[in-house]
Amino acid sequence: MAMMRLRREDPRVVGSFRLHRRLGAGGMGVVYLGSDRRGQRVALKVIRPDLAEDREFRSRFAREVSAARRIRGGCTARLVAADLEADRPWFATQYVPGPSLHDKVNEEGPLPAAHVASVGSALAEGLLAVHEAGVVHRDLKPSNILLSPKGPRIIDFGIAWATGASTLTHVGTAVGSPGFLAPEQVRGAAVTPATDVFALGATLAYASTADSPFGHGSSEVMLYRVVHEEPQLLGVPDALAPLLHACLAKDPEDRPTTLQLSLRLKEIAAREAHGQGAAGVAQGPGSPHSPHSPHSPHGHASDGRPVGRRADAYADQHTERRSGAGTPPRGAAAPRASSPRSGPSGTGSSSRTAGRNTPARAPAPRRGGQRPPARTVRTSPNGRRPGGPDRLRLMRQRLTVFVVVTLLVALGIAAAQGCQGPSRGLGVPTAPTAPGAPRAAEAEPQGGL
């Protein structure tokens, strides 16, 4: 908040507070920076002389100060002291360091959506405490919101009014600020907590666009637009536009409650903050720029596998790790993967395909009779290398099995024939006889005559 030197007409001491600087001036009086004997700094507002002479104003001001004492919450400037019987009534609130929301936006431009939602959520919580105390602020606007290091603070409850009070102008002084007044305030109807919700919606729209949602112009023009025209929210982030439009509804019944507004803004603030902090938050799995997109510029498929030309290098690297080879032998052909579906160990379908379609070349033996480790691993269905000494060894084994089986079969046949021999004279063959000739046993009967 900008500070100015005290003028000649300004008091130097008010109550128990010593005044140091001017903080600003408004429709009700001048605000000073002061301090007490303990060094506590306060923002002290002294009421204008013409208003101080009005008894009705003094009575209303006393009720407002009494209601302000009941406000409890960290989002408001706490009331420290007040003197309602002084020649010029005054009240002092806790001094809040930091620029106003108006000055912040005026100097740096519109705030990001996450920042606007975060500030709005804190302000809605502050208004909730104000409304629970039975008070309506009635003049919530960017210049009455200070951005302190501990969060936003609502100040200037000088024209706050108890719930249900009228907002008619008093002694020629307009109560509130055009562009941030609710339609019911302009019509002179009773104010409610929904009145502050309208003002908060207009304030957050200003923070998002650096402009009032009802434009610029004279007070009459601005008040007419508030009552009869829709707010202009062009430039408000999409995440905030629907909620702010609801806050600026003409009918107070159509606006969200302070509690609903606080919860909704807190959700938006969390989502927007996460979206800005995470890399590529708007990039889903199918986004062209997503690192897991099938068309990712990094050359990876949606499941993390490489695609395109990177698939070949991926297969080569993983195949080398699987084989455990240092340097490839001379004459060994470099592997060429036919499919990117190579397993983590590098011995997937691409390796088997390469083993079937590519002829194997036996590596040259090193000194000492040891084979150099192969650069590539080409496997056969039984898990062994299909060529070289392994193939010769396999042929020898098959030949040995064939010979053994043949000998066993021959011995079996011979044994079967030998078992049939004793039925014919103990295996001694007899001489064949002519057809029709009697056998010897029949021609010569035994036993003589």
26: phi then psi, degrees, rounded to nearest 5: -135, -165
What is the distance between the alpha carbons of residues 58 and 78, in angstroms, rounded to a whole number? 21
Q: What distance in Å separates the CA atoms of residue 89 and residue 66, rounded to the nearest whole number?
A: 14
CA separation for the pair 266, 260 (Å, rounded): 10
DSSP code per residue over 353-384:
HHHHHS---PPPP-TTSPPPPPSS----TTSS
139 catalytic? Reply is: yes
Distance CA 132, CA 119 (A): 20
- Structure tokens, 368: 């000492």
Pairing of the two strands 135-136 and 145-148 = unpaired
Residue 186 CB neighbours (<10 A): 17
Q: Look at residues 207, 172, 202, 150 and name the one whose alpha carbon lies nearest to residue 57.
A: 172
Strand order across the beta sheet in which 29-35 lies: 13-14, 17-25, 29-35, 41-47, 90-94, 79-83
- The token pair at 247 is 């806050």
Beta-carbon count within 10 A of 55 CB: 8
Q: What distance, in Å, lies between the first and last C-alpha atoms of the chain?
A: 164
Query: Could you say which of 10, 36, 139, 211 is catalytic?
Result: 139
In DSSP notation, 47-111 reads E-HHHHT-HHHHHHHHHHHHHHTT---TTBPPEEEEESSSSS-EEEEE---S-BHHHHHHHH-SP
Helix (H) or strand (E) holding 23, with range, is strand 17-25
Instruction: Dig out the tokens for 157 from the structure.
Output: 């409850």
| Residue 89, both tokens | 């009534």
Q: Tell whether the torsion through CA atoms of 26, 111, 265 and 181 is positive or negative.
A: positive
Active site (catalytic) residues: 139
